[in-house]
Structure 1
Amino acid sequence: MYGKSENRDDYQHVPRPLAAMARDLPDGHHIPAHHHRRAQLIYGTTGAITVVTDHGVWVVPATRGVWVPAGLTHAMTCAGPVAMRTLYIEPQSAWRLPEIPTVVSVSPLLRELIDEATRLPAEYEREGREGKVVELLLLELAPLPVPALHLPAPADAQLDELCAAIQQEPGDRWATADAAAYAHMSPRSLQRRFTAATGMSLARWVQQARLIRAVTLLAKGTPVTVIATGLGYATPSAFTAMFNRTLGTTPSAYFADREPGPSAGRFTAA
């Protein structure tokens, strides 16, 4: 696209601190687990992207991106058509940015800078306008908290199986007693171990799993009524109330001209 390579390997050794690639991906496109020598900002202007690492799972819509540190293994899956606009940054140029997977809210300014960077030659002119665009883009990637749709991975083999089951069928009953029976442990032991392993209560983790499923389905154009039923809600209004309470907007408005909040363009540790 834009006369540039769509092969990520071609951007790992260019003699510039930042390289940007544009690539349009279809619904359901999966990029298997891989890693690269440069840090990466994964961002799509449409649809939603699920990013999986050993640290957990993130789902980001078009106003969010995921920062992946250099050398970290990760996989990606698209929900809905995704216009991916990704940055590859030399580790030395990203020294002040997080060393763990992190979510960034993409402000209108950052969005335009990313788009412009994808149109620059891989070996852009360091002096003049092209170099200034990249300098400003790097400055916009400053760490401050923003909300994130994130499922932290438990460092516990017994809980790994439970978490995989919840992610597979988030609409099933996953009250503490149900989850404890699945994991073959007492409810009290489950609650204690789950919070210690993930930093979240079981109830919150299940809710996050349902929200992540909802966002990926919304990106595909699935009706809210179908999503609500599939996630186990008695009525669409009950699902909408939970969604609005947690994410600050209704499901139908989530992908419609959403404006980032005051922390736009800033990072939060996942």
Structure 2
Amino acid sequence: MPVFSDDSSSDWEDPDCVPRPVVTLGAVGREMDSRKERDFHQHRKGQFLLWMRGVLTCEVDGGFWLVPPGSAIWVPGGTQHRMDGAGTVDCYVVYVDPAVGDALPRECCTLSTTPLLRELVIRSAALPMRYEEGGMASRVMTLLLDEMALAQPGQVHLPLTTDKRLRKLVEWIMARPSDPGNIESWAQRMGISARTLSRLVSRETGMSFGRWRRQLHILLALQWMARGATVQHVAEGLGYENASNFVVMFRKILGETPGRYLKSNA
């Protein structure tokens, strides 16, 4: 799970080694030490991370996800990934043995959550890691698995690539998200033609340049709003002429206004 600044308890046990099909750990009001999670690593068991406060980012080969408060991410066992976050967080991590995770997604993805799913995760975190099998605890975990399998994939995902040119472009856009440059100006900075950049983005991400850039803006917007930024400030930070234009873009991508989206995921 993500590493926290005070993870030094002597009774802590590696969930990968606990002989239970499902194990949940919780961390409420804890300081996340992102420096310890920046290297790629993997776990034998799959991880379902429910983020209740703070913002988490997760990168796997070919993809970048942002997990806003109230949402979750699924990382299948054996998947090389790295996580990043900072500050005080409330989160829960459900470890799922591959032997019982057949109904869960085969690839990394964000997942929407329901009140029932969130409460089951919180309840399961109160159980001992080596809970007694065959009783109520096992039934809670079985129901939790069923609810996790019903969770719908989210859309807060930015396809990434190993292409060094696109990696550099991501760094440029994130450093100056309000830059109004179009595909022609970005291509010029990269020393290639706009047509080449368009084909490169399409081939590597499956998106048009415009859609891919808007998706990156969505990730940044959710990150800023989760930290308390207003819609007006986010719109200005992303270079929109006014908040209304930003709201239109947000609703086009996620199907809801920023306010409704944050409320539904609270």
TM-score w.r.t. length of structure 2: 0.86
Where structure 2 has 5 or more consecutive residues not aligned to the other structure, the ranges are 1-7
Deviations 1:114-160 (A, max 9, x none): 11110111011211211100011112222675331111112422222
CA offsets 1:83-110 (integer angstroms, 9 cap, x no match): 1111111122213323321121111111
Q: Percent identity?
A: 34
Answering whether residue 82 of structure 2 is matched by residue 75 of structure 1, we say: yes
Matched, 1:10 2:14: yes
Q: Give structure 1 regions of 4+ aligned residues with deviation exceeding 4 angstroms.
A: 4-9, 25-29
Q: 2:28 aligns with which of 24, 34, 43?
A: 24
Given candidates 50, 57, 62, the residue that maps to 2:69 is 62
Residue in 2 that maps onto 1:39: 46
Match of 1:139 among 140, 146, 152: 146
Shift of 1:71: 2.3
What CA distance in whole angstroms lies between the structure 2 residues aligned with 1:70 and 1:216?
Answer: 26
Q: CA deviation at 1:39?
A: 1.0
Provide Cα deviations, 1:54-100, integer angstroms capped at 9, x if missing partner: 22211122332111111222222337743111111112221332332
**Aligned twin of 1:266:** none
**SS of the residue aligned with 1:67?**
strand
Contact 2:69 2:226 in 1 (8 A): no
Equivalent runs, 1:182-221 vs 2, <5 Å: 182-221=189-228
Structure 2 counterpart of 1:114: 121
Count of aligned residue pairs for this structure pair: 256
Where in structure 2 are the equivalents of 1:111-260 lying within 5 Å?
Answer: 111-142=118-149, 145-256=152-263, 258=264
TM-score (norm 1): 0.85
Q: 1:20 & 1:6 partners in 2: Cα distance?
A: 18
Give structure 1 stretches of 5+ with no counterpart. Answer: 261-270
For 1:134, what is the secondary structure of its paired residue?
helix
Higher relative contact order (CA 8 A, sep 6+): 1
Instruction: Label 1:208 to 1:6 Cα distance change in 2 as closer, same or farther (>3 A).
Output: farther
Amino acid in structure 1 at the alignment position of 2:14: D
- Match of 1:265? none
